[in-house]
Amino acid sequence: MTLEKGSLILLDYTAKVKDTNVTFETTREEEAKRSDVYDPTRRYEPRLISVGEGWVLKGLDEALSEAKTGDKLSIQIEPNKGFGERDTSKVRMIPLRKLGEKADEIRVGDTIELDERMGIVRFIGSGRVQVDFNHRYAGRTLIYDVDVTKKLDDDNEKVSSLIRRRLPIDEQKIEFNIEASRLQIDLPEETFLVDGLQIIKKAIANDIFKFVSKIENVKFVESYLSQSLVSRKPEEQPKEEQPKEEQPLEKNAETAQPRSS
């Protein structure tokens, strides 16, 4: 049975540029290391995707809508369903001095921000720099080697995966409890200073309301321990600590916002 629109799946994949066979993205750690795109700060694992929801390139989304769990596919994506065709009007030649104090550090191939847009440096010479505001892979045909590893049907799996999609934390550190239509999420202390945490929590709640239909109320809890308690041995820790609770986020309550910490 093919995957329905809105199905939550885990997808392992490696993406390459067809004409060069260069890998530019992968969820597989060993492949990343072989292809010189390895990032030690990144977590390599199958990616959570909602089929047909635009979470991935259009060409990949369309192919997944005709796939089944367990399928291993090689998908060719043309530019019009990938990163788009190249637009020569998006290539500009500007004075090097416009880049300010960092002008001497700029090299061909660097990605820079200019006029609130990201561009790639294509040429430097005679006091000028050519900046290409097309996507790096615009006009390129892509190949995605994918493995549809799993379809998520269990509510606990959905909640855990949706939390981790927004917050970069280990699965073992996620604690939550579902009781009837209520969900409580206990955030680990390492997330408290994440940039835009309030917006992230609202987005997590909205995702859960959409993909776990029985949930109508989401509450985030932040607990703080004194340093004296943190230094105690596990057997010396008190059985319960009083958490700092936040106002629940209600389904369909557009103005509901969690209280600031």
The predicted-structure confidence for 58-68, as pLDDT tens digits, reads as follows 999 999 999 99
The predicted-structure confidence for 91-101, as pLDDT tens digits, reads as follows 999 999 998 88
| Helix (H), strand (E) counts: the chain | 5, 14
- The Cα 26–Cα 46 span in angstroms is 9
Which of the two residues, 257 and 69, has the higher pLDDT score? 69
Q: Show contacts of 38-45: CB within 8 Å, 24+ apart.
A: 43/168
Please report the pLDDT score of residue 197 as a whole number: 94
Q: Tokens at residue 32, please? A: 């990343």
- Give all domains of the chain, ordered by start, each with its CATH number: 1-86+138-152 (3.10.50.40), 88-132 (2.40.10.330), 154-261 (3.30.70.2210)
* Cβ atoms < 10 Å from Cβ of 90: 14
Across all residues in the chain, what is the average pLDDT? 89
Query: Which residues are bridge partners to 77 per DSSP?
Result: 142
Per-residue pLDDT band at 254 (split at 50, 70, 90): very low
Q: Tokens 């073992």 sit at which residue?
A: 172
The residues, any chain, with a CB within 8 Å of residue 47's CB and separated by 6 or more, are 10, 11, 12, 13, 27
